[in-house]
Amino acid sequence: MEYTDGGTESQTKNCEYNPCVNHGRLHGQTKAGCGDGADARRRGCREVEGRLIDYVRHHVSHVGGFTAARRIAALADNFEVKFAWHGSPNSPVGHMTNLTLDLTNNNFGIHEHFDYPPIVQDIFQGCAEIKDGYAWISEKPGWGIEVDEAPAAKHPITDERPNIMRTPDGTVINGTG
C-alpha cells in the first residue's frame, strides 16, 4: 500500500492482484483506493463489491471514457464506495470530464485539481476555475473547452521542448495518462 501525507488514505497498486487488500481492510482503518493502473472497466469490481476499498481511482480515459466511468460510479454507489478519478495533468478536456463526473454522481469523494499554466489556458479556453474553494466549470456546450489554434501554433512541440507524454506521432506513452 502507498500512504499519503498523514496516513489518512492509501492507494493499493494493482489491487485486483494484491492479496493484501483484504488484509488491509480487515486490520486497518486507513481509507483505501485502487484502480490507478486499471485499463479495463472490470478491474477493481471484486474490491468494490466486497467493500474492500473506499475509493475507485481509475483514469477515465483508460476505462473507456465518460460513459464507462459513469457506469463504474453507479456500480460503486451501490456498495457505498466513492470515486476519486485520477487527475488529468496533461488534458484540460480530461480534467473537465472528471469534474463533470464529480458533479453528476452521488458518490463523489475526492477531486484532483490541476491549475494549468497561462499558456495552456490560452490554448484551451474554458478551463475549470477554483473560486472560494469551489470548482466552477464552463457552461458552454459539450465539455465547455474551446481550442484556440492560433496560440497553439506559436508553441509547437520541438526537440528543445519535448512532449514527455506522447510520441512524435501523437500516441500516448503508456503509463502517462
CATH number of domain containing 57: 3.20.20.120
Structure confidence at residue 133 (pLDDT): 87
The mean pLDDT value for 128-150 works out to: 89
C-alpha 132/C-alpha 17 separation (Å) is 41
Q: Which residue has the higher pLDDT, 1 or 90?
A: 90
The residue-averaged pLDDT of 162-176 equals 67
Structure-model confidence comparison of residues 61 and 122, the more confident one: 122
Q: How confident is the model at residue 167 (pLDDT cuts 50, 70, 90)?
A: confident
The residues that bridge with 10 in the sheet, in sequence order, are 3, 32
Is 45 inside a domain boundary?
yes
**Closest C-alpha among 83, 81, 92, 103 to residue 36:** 83
Q: What is the pLDDT of residue 26?
A: 59
* Higher local confidence (pLDDT), 148 or 159: 148
The set of residues, in sequence order, having a beta carbon less than 8 Å from that of 165 and lying 6+ positions away, is 90, 172, 173, 176, 177
DSSP assignment of 110-142 equals --------HHHHHHEET--EEETTEEE---SST
**Residue-number span of the structural domain to which 72 is assigned:** 2-115
CA atoms of 110 and 19, how far apart (whole Å) = 25
Give the chain's largest Cα–Cα span: 56
Residue 175 lies in a domain: no
In a domain, 106, yes or no: yes
The CA distance from 146 to 117, in Å, is: 16
Which candidate, 40, 42, 41, 48, places its Cα nearest to that of 12?
48
* Long-range pairs, 23-28, Cβ under 8 A, ≥24: 24/52, 25/51, 25/52, 25/53
pTM of the model: 0.73
User: Residue 143 domain-assigned?
Assistant: no
Q: Which residue has the higher pLDDT, 60 or 3?
A: 60
Whole-angstrom CA distances from 140 to 82, 125, 144, 151 are 28, 11, 4, 21
Note whether residue 101 is domain-resident.
yes
In a domain, 148, yes or no: no
Is 16 within the bounds of a domain? yes
Domain count of the chain?
A: 1
Does position 28 have pLDDT exceeding 90, yes or no? no
Q: With bands split at pLDDT 50, 70 and 90, how would you rate the model's confidence at 3?
A: very low
| pLDDT tens digits along 44-94 | 677 788 888 888 888 888 888 899 899 999 999 999 999 999 887 778 998
